[in-house]
């Protein structure tokens, strides 16, 4: 069974630029999460999708972050404009509708200069 796929793996941008990350969850997993992990911290939830609907986006900085999961499979997370403090690893995770175990993709390491 293929795991969660993410791209790109690394991204370096200047502040005020925009960036987008892509995630493809484990096949058949209805629930998809985006987490932000700052160096030395545990991952923190940004947004949760159930199929193509948003379940929880209470911690998403909506003035600059957006996310979508249009067909209930792939998802895209966008930051526009980026700030220095957005430098982090962005992790995508998925879980099945019958289990609470979450499986993480390799992450995208973002550096904002």
Q: Are 42 and 89 in contact (CB under 8 A)?
A: no
Decide: is 81 part of the binding site for other proteins (CB under 8 A). Answer: no
Decide: is 91 part of the binding site for other proteins (CB under 8 A). Answer: yes
Binding mask 27-66 for other proteins (x = CB under 8 A): ---xx-x-x----xxxxxx--x-x----xx----------
Decide: is 25 part of the binding site for other proteins (CB under 8 A). Answer: no
**Beta strands, E only, the chain:** 5-7, 10-13, 19-24, 31-37, 44-50, 53-56, 65-68, 75-79, 88-95, 103-104, 108-112
Binding site for other proteins (CB under 8 A): 30-31, 33, 35, 40-45, 48, 50, 55-56, 89, 91, 95, 97, 100-107
């Amino acid at each position: 069974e293929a795991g969660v796929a993410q791209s790109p793996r690394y991204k370096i941008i200047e502040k005020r630029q925009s960036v987008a990350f892509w995630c493809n969850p484990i096949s058949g997993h209805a629930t998809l999460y985006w987490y932000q992990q700052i160096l030395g911290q545990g991952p923190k939830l940004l947004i949760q999708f159930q199929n193509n609907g948003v379940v929880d986006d209470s911690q998403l900085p909506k003035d600059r972050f957006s996310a979508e999961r249009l067909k209930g499979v792939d998802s895209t997370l966008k930051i526009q404009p980026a700030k220095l403090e957005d430098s982090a690893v962005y992790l995508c995770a998925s879980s099945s509708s019958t289990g609470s175990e979450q499986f993480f993709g390799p992450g995208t390491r973002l550096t904002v200069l």
